[in-house]
Amino acid sequence: MLPHKPSSKGSPSTEATLQSLYNRAARAFLHRDVAITFGLLSAAFALLPPPLAPSPDPLAVHRRKWDILRITLETTIFSSTPDLADLPQPLRESLLLSPQSFVSTLYARSLTLFTPSSLHRKPSTAFLPHQVLITLVASSLKIDCPNIGREMTEDWLSRRGQYDFVPSTGESYHKVLELYCLHVLPRLGEWENVRQFLSYENELSSDERRALNVALDAQHAQARESTRRETPKLETPPSPTPIPPSRSLSPASSSSSLSTTSTRTAVPASPRPKLTRQQSASSTSAVSDATVTRSPRHRHDQSMPQGSPSASGVRTSRILSVDDSLTTAQPPSSLALIRSYFSHYFTANRIATLSVLFFLIPLLSMIIRRRRRFETPADLVRRRLLEARGDSIVRRLWNELSRAILDTVRMGGGGLV
């Protein structure tokens, strides 16, 4: 029989009642008595409202233990095939949810339980204990929802440290990071993201970071080996046999083709027709006329004396032809003037400088603003780690620009922009 609800919450009697209930619920859970465990859970959470203020609470330890037990019980039932007749009605209703909806419901309920009610704000992971977070992430991995586990972990990492009474450094940070780097991201196949995250990380000691890298390398090698064993070996197709030519070239044809290539004067195959005497005379006169007309003009000028009337006539004709060409030349058009102006002032170097000033810099600024607007929890975690490293402003700006360009190129390759 379950105890009655005490009148004063947070008193020593309430803590003693919660402790005795927890011992009974833990034994019932180990004996797989779902009905008794669920009844004790319902009685305990009637005594565990959310905290009033963002400060240390005497019921914080009990709130954390009972929430972990509730998550573990519901995840065990959801991932198995229990007898529906023996389950309470709320547990039967949770079995109708999809795995993603089930984990999201557990996560939202835990956030509401630990967020102070006096803040009147949206439930936040800044108040979530790391033990509850680890239980939720393990639940998401058990029912094959690692992407939700990644979102929960990255949200916690980006918001941790806002309140001193919530432990988020030291051992708690190391345990969350170990689960994130060795279980969540490897389940998603993001091995390079794990190594990149560990390269940014600077809170762990060098030994702890080295141990994580060694465990990650061993796990990656084991995953590659299992993938290689599961992949069936493709049978190599037989090499195609060369197809013989339909007919071989005769040595006679090859020798005849070679014999025609010689250094001697080629002899025409057909005999040249004989020219008659009249045809030869006419061709000779035509050649002589062509030779006379093709002779350079300065030879005739040299043969003429300078004072002769024929020479002065030649000079006069040249002067007249030059004057005619000058009078017939038209002034350049407006399009030609514009082209010459732009070709003179807008050189390649000036165009490159103007492109950097008026196109490249505004584009990078727009990319950074857009990326900050749609920043994910993973980006927040990475930015906080970079700020904690104490790099110079130039280095941080360069890292931000390179990350924005790489993300834009990656989104463009995936068809997202």
Contacts of 44 (CB under 8 A, 6+ apart): 18, 21, 22, 25, 62, 66
* Window from 30-34, 81-85, 223-227 with minimum mean pLDDT: 81-85
pLDDT at 349: 72
What's the number of domains the chain is made of?
2
pLDDT at 64: 96
Q: Show which of 147, 171, 188 is a domain's final residue.
A: 188
341-395, pLDDT tens digit by residue?
Answer: 666 666 777 777 766 666 677 776 777 666 666 566 666 676 666 666 556 666 6
- Position 81 confidence tier, pLDDT thresholds 50, 70, 90: confident
Residue 1 lies in a domain: no
181-236, pLDDT tens digit by residue?
Answer: 999 999 999 999 999 999 989 899 999 999 999 999 999 999 999 888 876 654 44
267-293, pLDDT tens digit by residue?
Answer: 444 444 444 444 444 444 443 444 434
Q: Show which of 169, 188, 207 is a domain's final residue.
A: 188
- Position 73 confidence tier, pLDDT thresholds 50, 70, 90: very high
Residue 84 lies in a domain: yes
Task: Tokens for 20, please give them.
Answer: 């005795």
How many CB atoms sit inside 10 A of residue 244's CB? Answer: 7
299-355, pLDDT tens digit by residue?
Answer: 444 444 444 444 444 444 444 444 454 445 456 677 776 766 666 666 777 777 766
Cα–Cα distance, 60 to 18 (Å, whole number) = 12
Cα–Cα distance, 295 to 133 (Å, whole number) = 102
Give first-to-last CA distance, the chain, whole Å: 62
Residue 298 lies in a domain: no
Residue 296 lies in a domain: no
Residue 289 lies in a domain: no
Cα–Cα distance, 128 to 157 (Å, whole number) = 11
Find tokens 């970071």 and name the residue: 209
Residue 379 lies in a domain: yes
Model confidence at 399: pLDDT above 90: no
Range 347-368 burial, b when 16+ CB lie within 10 A, else e:
eeeeeeeeeeeeeeeeeeeebb
Residue 312 lies in a domain: no
Q: Using DSSP, how many helices (H) and how many strands (E) does the chain show?
A: 20, 0
Task: Tokens for 344, please give them.
Answer: 């003179």
Mean pLDDT of 3-13: 54
Cα–Cα distance, 52 to 115 (Å, whole number) = 9
Find tokens 């989104």 and name the residue: 411
Q: What is the enclosing helix (H) or strand (E) of 347? A: none
pLDDT at 135: 97
Q: Show which of 164, 188, 212 is a domain's final residue.
A: 188
Contact present, 75 and 142 (Cβ < 8 Å): yes
Range 16-26 burial, b when 16+ CB lie within 10 A, else e:
ebbeebbebbe
Alpha carbon separation from 383 to 199, 222, 320, 379 (Å, rounded): 13, 32, 82, 6
Residue 308 lies in a domain: no
Task: Tokens for 60, please give them.
Answer: 């914080």
Mean pLDDT of 32-36: 94
Residue, of 414 and 192, whose pLDDT is higher:
192
pLDDT at 86: 84
Domain hosting residue 72, numbered range: 12-188
- Position 26 confidence tier, pLDDT thresholds 50, 70, 90: very high
